[in-house]
Amino acid sequence: MKKKLVKILNKKFNYPITCLTAYSPSIAKILDGNVDIVLIGDSLGTTLYGMKNSQSVTLNMMKIHGLAVTNNVNKSITVIDMPYKTYENKLQALKNAKTLLNFTKAKMIKLEINRSNLPIVKYLSSKNLNVVAHIGVTPQSFVNFKKIKAVGRTKKESQNLIKLALNAEKAGAKAILLECITEETAKKITSSISLPTIGIGSSKYCDGQVLVFDDLIKIDKKQHYPKFVKNYLNFDELASNAVKKFCTDVRQKKFPSKKYSYQ
């Protein structure tokens, strides 16, 4: 696994990095070995628990779902999010990061960062923790996700993001996740640092891409999906049709037949 981690984090990795989220054993099994990285994201708050944002996700939630996933991942690298307000200072961050990593056995920890919490990245890295720095749009800072807009459009925003990425690299981060950063700025960041960049809504000019698995398969047709989400499967429709067939079979006394009954 260590060799796999080193290979993925090498900028010369010979093909783009793939990453999807998982919060349960069944999805973890599907992703394991098919994607390079499985992310146990705090997006589970909105995806699984129906929260309006990720600010109510707790450390315990991440521990429970993290362990459920890592127990079923043997080939891919696992990354786990540190939830909102669990890394506000160095000591708190170290304690909570170790708790998460030791309990779940995830290989890397991800933090949403800005200029003010760069010292935390440096501190965790100095303690030999593998840190992924999340820059650009940082969802934990939003109460209302509808207010999220792409960043990096202005010269100042672009320069600040490039500087932040460079400083995160100097602080010891092992990879940078770019969220909702404009194409031109994402391209500049990727070419400016020696770390791999993984994009979500940040163009093809990143070294890899991540999406929320539930968005990928369109599990909820009523949900509003961001521009950057591509649906590869209409699971909502497939599941609805399966439910309708089940109900029809039950009502017509076709299920359970002898095949599905004990004699």
Q: Which residues are known catalytic residues?
A: 179
Q: Residue 188 CB: number of other CB atoms within 10 A?
A: 19
- What's the gap between Cα 246 and its chain centre? 34
Name residue, tokens 């006394």. Answer: 253
Q: Tell which phi-psi region holds residue 41, choosing left (phi > 0), alpha (psi between -120 and 50) or beta.
A: beta
What is d(CA 131, CA 113) in angstroms, rounded to the nearest whole number?
11
219 CB-near residues (< 8 Å, 6+ apart):
235, 236, 239
State the Cα–Cα distance between residues 8 and 242, nearest whole angstrom.
39
In contact, 16 and 8? CB cutoff 8 Å? no
Token pair 């591509």 is at which residue? 230
CA dist 249 and 103 (Å) reads: 44
Q: What one-character DSSP code corresponds to residue 150?
A: -
Q: For 116-135, b where at least 16 C-beta lie within 10 A, e where not — what string?
A: ebbebbbbbbeeebbbbbbb
Tokens of 141: 């800072």
